[in-house]
Chains A and B, each alone.
Chain A
């Protein structure tokens, strides 16, 4: 019986792993939902410009677009490496 329980618990995992993975990816998709189509391109080009001067990782640049009532704020956050 214990063996059966063990096997069953092992199997239970796959659906809950699926759920966890989906929750993360869907949250990420939704955060990008309202943003304009040019954002990925803008992000890429900004990164290129920054890299002309400083060598930074992809993760060191964080770009967010927040919309409030009638204005949008583009926030660019760059973590520069220690020189």
Chain B
């Protein structure tokens, strides 16, 4: 039985795809057989972040419409053995996904995988609702910024009502807060919401805190999920997040203001 995790946020551009790629990679690196599915039909990007954009032949919509088998569409990751990517369609319109089709795909993956990570599109429309519908757990990606926090709260409302677990009256979807693009220096100067405030407003458990980091753009430029950059703060923060998802107790890092030393100020030593 696979655990189905949706990575969602409501707001766009907060780091859903980056996080889905990094977390799926982290799970696979820890020996968990993992599939990561792009639900953003029409605007797929997970393939780029995972660095497999030139190996896409078939996609999720092809599978749902019976034009290709699931094994034909799944792309095996070059770097990690246990990791597979199911890309979204770039050409079809977003109505090409059906609830029954998604259910069939997930049921098939369920037999072979330990984790299924669903990368949700932005918004609260059909695509986002399909991505979350079958989820056991949800990672709500939030930036320390008003519109992102508000949208995350909207998504929490949907998770509590528009999912299979909610409709069947089963145990609710387990919700995790993932704060991304956190800048401790700006928090310290009072210009950025701090993590306690965000947790207090959204009232869900924090699973990880990813600092704003140059490593993230560098990783997406190269198509290598940032988890592989083990020397970077963001890479380590995602590894911590994965450990917490697997119910390990890991202390929080990268949330405190670090004074730059004189030397690094002079030589412009930024965050790795």
> Which parts of B42-62 form the interface with A (CB within 8 Å)?
none
Give the residues in chain B near A82, CB-CB below 8 Å.
none
Write out the residue numbers on chain A whose beta carbons fall within 8 Å of the beta carbon of B150.
22, 25-26, 29
**In which size bucket is the chain B interface?**
10 to 19
In the docked arrangement, what's the CA distance between A42 and B205, Å? 36
Q: Is the CB of A22 within 8 A of B190?
A: no
Q: Which 6 A-B pairs have the closest CB atoms?
A: A12-B190, A33-B157, A19-B197, A26-B153, A11-B190, A18-B146
Question: Residues of B contacting A15 with CB < 8 Å?
Answer: 187, 190-194, 197
**Given A15-B191, A16-B190, residue A30 in contact with residue B157 (CB < 8 A):** yes
Residues of A within 8 A of B191 (CB): 11, 14-15
**Cβ of B192: which chain A residues have Cβ within 8 Å of it?**
15
In the assembly, what is the distance between CA of A26 and CA of B154, in Å? 9
Measured CB to CB, the nearest residue on chain A to B149 is A22
Determine whether the beta carbon of B153 is less than 8 Å from that of A29: yes
Interface secondary structure of A, over-half rule: helix
Chain A residue nearest to B196 in the complex (CB):
A19
Asked if B261 CB lies within 8 Å of chain A CBs, one says no
Residue B201 at the A interface, CB < 8 A? yes
Name B187's closest neighbour in chain A (CB-CB). A15
CB-based contact A22/B146 at 8 Å = yes
Q: Least Cβ distance of A26 to chain B in Å? A: 5
A44 close to B (CB within 8 Å): no
The residues of A that contact B149 with a CB separation of less than 8 Å are: 22, 26
Q: Are A8 and B153 in contact (CB under 8 A)?
A: no
Give the contacts of A17-37 with B (CB-CB under 8 A).
Answer: 18-19, 21-23, 25-26, 29-30, 33-34
Which residues 207-245 of B have a CB within 8 angstroms of A? Answer: none
Q: Does B189 contact A (CB under 8 A)?
A: yes
Write the chain B residue with the least CB distance to A26: B153
Q: Is A52 part of the contact surface with B, judged by Cβ < 8 Å?
A: no
* CB neighbours of A2 from chain B (8 A): none
Chain A residues 23 to 73 lying within 8 A of chain B, measured CB to CB, are: 23, 25-26, 29-30, 33-34
Q: Which residues of B contact A33 (CB under 8 A)?
A: 157, 160-161
